[in-house]
Every structure is written in structure tokens, then in C-alpha cells.
Structure 1
Amino acid sequence: MNINVKLRLSLMMFLEFFIWSSWYVTMGTFLGSNLTAKDQDVSLAFSTQSFGAIIAPFIVGLIADRYFHAQRILGVIHLMGAGLMYVLYTSSDFSGFFPILLLYMILFMPTLALVNSISFHQMKNPAKEFSFIRVWGTIGWITAGLLISFLSWDSQVGLREGLLRNTWMMAAISSLILGVFSFMLPHTPPQARVKGQFKLSEALGLDALGMLKHKNYAVFFVSSILICIPLAFYYQSTSPFLTEIGMENSTGKMAMGQASEVIFMLALPIFFVRFGIKKTLIVAMIAWAVRYAFFALGDANEGVWMLLAGIALHGICYDFFFVSGQIYTDFHAGTKYKSSAQGLITLATYGIGMLIGFWAAGLISNYYSNDGGEHIWQSIWLIPSGISVLVLLLFTALFKKEQIN
């Protein structure tokens, strides 16, 4: 790739994840403080990500891959997204907020695949080139979080004044910018016309179900779904938790998780080669359990180091399990089912697993709250920590040592 293409793809990734981070991290806090939503409502709002992940293959497979240039449909989606974000900015109650958010996430989730397709189409060696483009997405996510805290929208004063609503306007503006910029991206023609007739079973990853006949992969697959239950607690409850216990600039501090993601992404290949897939996945699950134990025991005063350590563990939690899992899935898929297999594991984790997780997090948060809306956070966080331990024990007992080359 020439430098001009690299710069355009990097800016595309930066804006894509800047938009998502602009509202996603603080949505739980926003719903509680601005729309007086209940825990079940917050759970329902976060579950729109799972519904979007389930529906995404239909949009990308049935529409984008067959009839449109990827960069054009990316532009159209983000222009529509800008309008929907503005409507969310003006929302005054959850009943009007939820259907708009659901529509937005059905549109947004396919863009995660579209930005990858646009990038891969320009690369001769994606294994070496993609990480240097994708890292700008993580930088975009971090930047949005730091900006929210810098502007004090998530501070106690900002929450009282309703400033957190501005995150939706920031997302609308950045979505408008990416929508226009997308039409300046390198041309990425529809691929299905070249590859042949579209198969819905392949887009949904169902062709790869035969991989579950391999006992180790079946254990990994089930463990992936189960570990997404505690993962959902992190996305849904961390921001309200940190805000409720009085941590200032919580959104900026949560960006430490993405910073650690960059660091451990670089360390992953070394760890993976030296210790193998089983130990890598075990370390990730231990990190999940420790993270939530830190959240249960920490506080905004003397125990703040536990909260920061729990946030910083995000790199190990995510990279060592999900990125390793993608590599492991690719290994078992072989040439025939590479695309189907990645679609299957995405549908299972971000679709089914996190949908269950968001639902469970809403029920548990509601159960451990009083009439004033305050939560017994120690009890809440010990539950995903315990789930992580149970998944760890299941995986360790059933998954046999396996060499991956």
C-alpha cells in the first residue's frame, strides 16, 4: 500500500471506533442519570449490540457483498447513523430511545465487517499489514474516552447538569464526517459476484458447524459462549459502577483497558508460540476472575488501585481469549470454512453469549439494588467472577493439550 491509502484506511478505522466509543462506554450511566432508566432497561439497550451482531451477516452477505461497493454502503450507513444519533441526543425517555438505538445498531454492526473488507482489499499481506491499520481503531476508542473525561461530561457536576447527553451529539458529528469521508476511500467492489452465488448458511457460519465434531474445539466453542456472560457485565456495568462510587473522569480511566489491549496484542504472538493455546486461554479466564474480584473489593479511595488494575486487565482478558480464539478457529477451519468459521464464532459470542450476558447482568443489577437506585456492587461483581472461575474449571478439565502451528 502507498502512504495515501494507509492514511485513509487509518483515519477510517480511527473514526469507526471513535464513533462507537463516543456513546457505548457511558451509555449505562447516561440512561440512569438522564433518562432515569432501570437496570432492565439498560440491559435491553446493551443487548442491541447482540441483535445487531446476529442480523449483520444478512446485511453484509445479502446486500453489501452482492450489490454495492463496500465504501459506498459504509458511507450511506454512517450518514444515516448521524441522523439517528441526533435523534438519540434529543430523546427524553427510554421508550422513545430504545427503538432508535436498536435500528442504529442493526445498521452499525455490519460496518465492523465493512471496514475490515475495505482494508483487506488493499493489502497484499494482511497478516503483516492489517494490525498497523487496525490499531488506529483502538486509538480512536481511547481518544473518545479521554475527550469525554477532559470535557468533564462524566464528572459528578457534568452528570447533574446533564452534559453526558453531548456524547450522542459527538457521535452524530463524527458519524457524519465518516459518512462523507467513506466516499473518498479506495474502491472495494462487491465480492460475491466474483466468488459465485451467495449462500446464507456460509454467511451465518453454519457451514462450519462440522468443526464441533472435534472435541477440543467443541469445548472451546461452549467456553467462548459462557465467558461472554461475564464480558457483558464489564461493558454494561463498569461505567455506572465507577460513577456511582465516586470515581472522577471514569471514562478516561476506562480507556486504560484499550491501551492495555494494544500492549498485550503485541505480546500475544510471543506468549502464544511459547505456551500454546490452552495456557493462553487459561490465563485469559484467570484474568476475568481476578478483574471482577478487584472490582468487588476495590473502592474510589484506598482501593482505587484495584479498580485501575481491573481495568488494565482488559488487554489480557480480550486479546488472550478472543484474538487467540480467532486464531484457533482459523486453524481448525482449514481453507474451505475460513470465512464461515469466523462468522460462526462471532455469532456465538457477540450474538448469543453476550445477549445472555446482558440479560443476566440486568437481572442481577436490579436484584442487588435498593429503592433509591444504589447498588450493592460487591455482590454484583462477585457473580461474574464466579462464572469466570466455573468456565475456567470446565475448560481446564475438558480441553486437552493441543499443538497449533
Structure 2
Amino acid sequence: MKSGTRIQLSFMMFLEFFIWGSWFVTLGTFLGANLHADGKETASVFSTQSYGAIVAPFIIGLIADKYFNAEKILGVLHLIGAGLMFLMFRADNISTFFPYVFGYMVGYMPTLALVNSVSFRQMTNPEKEFSSIRIWGTIGWIVAGLLISYVFHWDGKPGIEAGQLKNTFAMGSAASLILGLFSFTLPKTPPIKNKNEKDSIGSLLGLDAIKLLKNWNFLVFFISSILICIPLAFYYQNAHRFIEQTGIENVTAKMAIGQVSETLFLLLIPVFFSKFGFKKTILVGMLAWAVRYALFAYGNGTDLSFMLLIGIALHGICYDFFFVSGQIYTDAQAGEKYKSAAQGLITLATYGFGMLIGFWVAGFITDYYTTHPVENFWRQIWLIPAGIALVVFLLFLALFRDGKKQVA
């Protein structure tokens, strides 16, 4: 790959995840502090990510793969996103904010696939080249958190409403505008599919890979993937607001520890795979979710603040050892014909339906303990996803059978 192309793709990845990290991490705190949203309303806003993940295959399959260059669609979606993000910045109540964030996420989620598409098409050896490009996305997410906490100080002090968090949407809007314009300078990535080829709804959603569910191990993995996303949703929806309320300062920057951890543990996956195999690797990821939430439940912002920081740092194990390992397992099981369809099926199950259920469960639990006060509100909140993760761990341990047979 030419050095100029590498720089272009790296900058694209940096901005793609800088935009997401610039507002999504602090969203839960913003909704409570600025828009006074309750648990149900917060769940509705976070659920827009899942709706976007469900709609994304249609946008990619019906438009990007058949009619227009990927880099041009990427540019258009981010330009529209810049406008919607600015409207989110201007919104002063949840009823005004919701339609903007809904439209934004329906447009943003497909760009996650588009940046990969643009990148892969410029590579001769994606297995070796992609990681060095994708890591700039993680760096972009980390930089966004550092700017919010240490440069602009938008987090606010503990116990004070973080009114300035609305500025994160202005920053995201500006970055989206830059990426939207920059996208039109990216290497041309035209459609490679025959325009006359008709796609079924099933193929667009990855349902062509439904035959893989006939394999017992893949069925167990598939169901576990949906269930483990319920506790994952608790983290996205509540973690920033919880840690801010414990009294820890510069929360957004400290939560970026999770992305640093993600980068480091990503390098350890091949070692775990070769030494312990898929089942033990993914079990470690599942157990890490239970441990993380137990640390959140019993830690605090003073003498036990280290427990909260360890919980954040466990993100690398939680995400990489389950989700990345699961993507590798799915690729190996699917066979050449169903590789893309199988990945689409798992994405739809996790980021689509799994997290959609999780966001609503998290919102219901928050509202329940708000209307039925308990002595330790956050402990009760975190023990529930810890228990769910532990149950999924035990089910997978008991039901998944070790074996090397692949589905043809």
C-alpha cells in the first residue's frame, strides 16, 4: 500500500471513531443531567444504536454494494450526520433530541462497515495490513475522551450538573463535517456486485447463514451472543454516569483506559487461541463481564476507587475475548460461501437484537430502583448484569462442546 493511501485510511479511521467517542461515552450522563431523562427515555435513546445496526445491512446491501461508490456514500452520510449532530447540540429536551439521535444512528451505523470496505479494497494482504489502520480508530476514541476531560473540561465536577456536555455534540458535528468532506478524497471504491443481481431480505440480514444454527456449538454460541449483550448494554448506558457520581474526576478520560486495554488484549488473542482454544478464550471474556460488574457494585470513588479503574480496564478482555474471538470463530465455521452472511447474522443478533433487549432491561431496572429506593442504588443496578453474565458463562461452559469440526 502506498504511504499516502495508508495516511488517508488512518485519518479516516481516526475521525470515524473520534466522532463516536466524542459523545457516546458521556451520553448517559448528558441525558440525566441536561435533559433530565428517566430510565425508559435513556433506554430509548441508546436503543437507536440497535435500530441503526438493524437498518445498516439494508443501506449497505441495497445501496453501497450495488449502485454507488462506498467513499461517496460515506461522505454523504457523515455530512448529513454533521447536521443532525448540530441539531442534537441545540436540543434542550428529550422529545426534541430523540428524533435527531435516531436519524443520526441510522446513518452512522452503516459507516462502520463502509470504512472497512474502503480500507479492505486498498489492501493486498488485509490480515497483516488492516490492524495497523484500524488501531487509529481506537486512538481517535481515546483522544476524544482526553479532550473532553483534560482540554475542554466538559465533564464537570462531581456532584455538579455537567451542563457543558452538550458541547460534545458540537465537537462531534465538526469532526463529522471534516470526515464528510474528506471522504470524497478517499481512493475510489466502486461497487463490485452485478447491478442486476437481486438480493433477498434474508441475504442482506445475514439470514442465508441460518443453516449454521443446525450445528449445536454454533447455536449455543449464537444464543450466548444475544444474552451477553444484555449486561453489555448496562455498561454503555450507565457506566459514565455511575463513575461520575462516585466522585471520580475526569471520567471520560479515565474510561478511555478501556480502549487502551482493548488494544493491548487484541494482541493476546492469537496466543490464547493457540494455547487454550476457542471455548476457554471466550469463557474468559464472559467471566470478565461478571467480574467487572462485581467490581463496580462494591467499589467506590475513594478508598476503593482502584476497583472501578480495574473494572474499566477489563473492557479489553470483555470485548476482545468474546466479540473478536466470536468473529474469528464465526468466520471459521461458516465456510467460504457464508462468511459475510454469518458475520451479518452475528452482528444483527448482538448489536441489533441483543443490545436492544439489553438497553430496555437496563432502563427498566433503573426506573424500578428509582421508584423503589434501596440503600445502595448502584450496587443493586450492577449486581443484575453481573448475575446475567455469570449465568451465560455457566450455560456456555455446560453446553458448548469442544471440537474442531467446521460447518461446510
State the TM-score, normalizing by the size of structure 2. 0.96
Corresponding residue of 1:140 = 140
Matched, 1:300 2:301: yes
Q: Which moved more, 1:308-317 or 1:150-159?
A: 150-159
Q: Give the Å deviation of 1:273.
A: 1.1
Corresponding residue of 2:93 = 93
Corresponding residue of 1:223 = 224
- Is the contact between residue 158 and residue 248 of structure 2 (CA under 8 Å) also seen in structure 1? no
Give the Cα separation in 2 of the matches to 1:80 and 1:404: 46
Q: Sort the Cα spacing of 1:374 and 1:79 in 2 relative to 1 into closer, same or farther, 3 A.
A: farther
Corresponding residue of 2:3 = 3
Corresponding residue of 1:257 = 258
- Is the contact between residue 276 and residue 403 of structure 1 (CA under 8 Å) also seen in structure 2? no
Paired letter, 2:347: T
Corresponding residue of 2:328 = 327
Cα distance per residue 1:265-302 (max 9 Å; x no partner): 01111111110000001101110100000000000001
Paired letter, 1:5: T
Q: Give the Å deviation of 1:90.
A: 0.4
Paired letter, 1:15: L
Aligned counterparts, 1:393-404, within 5 A: 393-403=394-404
Q: Which moved more, 1:190-199 or 1:170-179?
A: 190-199
Matched, 1:310 2:311: yes
Corresponding residue of 1:65 = 65
Give the Cα separation in 2 of the matches to 1:324 and 1:192: 29
Corresponding residue of 2:208 = 207
Corresponding residue of 2:108 = 108
Cα distance per residue 1:330-350 (max 9 Å; x no partner): 111000001100000000000
- Is the contact between residue 32 and residue 38 of structure 2 (CA under 8 Å) also seen in structure 1? yes
Structure 1: which 5+ residue stretches go unaligned? none
Query: For 1:315, what is the secondary structure of its paired residue?
Result: helix
Corresponding residue of 2:35 = 35
Paired letter, 1:331: A
Q: Give the Å deviation of 1:368.
A: 1.7
Aligned counterparts, 1:366-377, within 5 A: 366-369=367-370, 376-377=377-378
Q: Give the Å deviation of 1:369.
A: 2.2
Query: For 2:337, what is the secondary structure of its paired residue?
Result: coil
Give the Cα separation in 2 of the matches to 1:161 and 1:219: 43
- Deviating beyond 4 angstroms after TM superposition, the runs of 4 or more aligned structure 1 residues are 370-375
Cα distance per residue 1:337-376 (max 9 Å; x no partner): 0110000000000000000000000011111226999970
- Is the contact between residue 158 and residue 164 of structure 1 (CA under 8 Å) also seen in structure 2? no
- Is the contact between residue 276 and residue 404 of structure 1 (CA under 8 Å) also seen in structure 2? no
Corresponding residue of 1:54 = 54
Give the Cα separation in 2 of the matches to 1:158 and 1:301: 14
Corresponding residue of 1:285 = 286
Give the Cα separation in 2 of the matches to 1:222 and 1:309: 28
Give the Cα separation in 1 of the matches to 2:193 and 2:51: 24
- Is the contact between residue 277 and residue 404 of structure 1 (CA under 8 Å) also seen in structure 2? no
Query: For 1:47, what is the secondary structure of its paired residue?
Result: helix
Cα distance per residue 1:145-188 (max 9 Å; x no partner): 11111121112279536111100000000000000000010100
Paired letter, 2:99: P
Give the Cα separation in 1 of the matches to 2:250 and 2:94: 25
Query: For 2:268, what is the secondary structure of its paired residue?
Result: helix
What is the total number of aligned residue pairs between the two structures?
405
Q: Give the Å deviation of 1:194.
A: 7.3
Q: Note the aligned Cα RMSD (angstroms).
A: 1.7
Cα distance per residue 1:254-275 (max 9 Å; x no partner): 0000000000001111111110
Query: For 1:358, what is the secondary structure of its paired residue?
Result: helix
Corresponding residue of 1:25 = 25
Give the Cα separation in 1 of the matches to 2:327 and 2:162: 43
Q: State the percentage of identical aligned residues.
A: 60
- Is the contact between residue 159 and residue 245 of structure 2 (CA under 8 Å) also seen in structure 1? no
Paired letter, 2:324: V
- Is the contact between residue 46 and residue 237 of structure 2 (CA under 8 Å) also seen in structure 1? yes
- Is the contact between residue 158 and residue 249 of structure 2 (CA under 8 Å) also seen in structure 1? no
Paired letter, 2:316: G
Corresponding residue of 2:182 = 181
Query: For 2:267, what is the secondary structure of its paired residue?
Result: helix
Give the Cα separation in 2 of the matches to 1:203 and 1:284: 29
Q: Which moved more, 1:262-271 or 1:368-377?
A: 368-377
Query: For 1:76, what is the secondary structure of its paired residue?
Result: helix
- Is the contact between residue 48 and residue 101 of structure 1 (CA under 8 Å) also seen in structure 2? yes
Cα distance per residue 1:202-226 (max 9 Å; x no partner): 1210000000011011000000000
Q: Sort the Cα spacing of 1:243 and 1:374 in 2 relative to 1 into closer, same or farther, 3 A.
A: farther
Query: For 2:336, what is the secondary structure of its paired residue?
Result: coil
Aligned counterparts, 1:269-284, within 5 A: 269-284=270-285
Query: For 1:119, what is the secondary structure of its paired residue?
Result: helix
Paired letter, 1:9: L
Corresponding residue of 1:387 = 388
Query: For 1:28, what is the secondary structure of its paired residue?
Result: helix
Q: Which moved more, 1:48-57 or 1:153-162?
A: 153-162
Paired letter, 2:398: A
Q: Give the Å deviation of 1:64.
A: 1.3
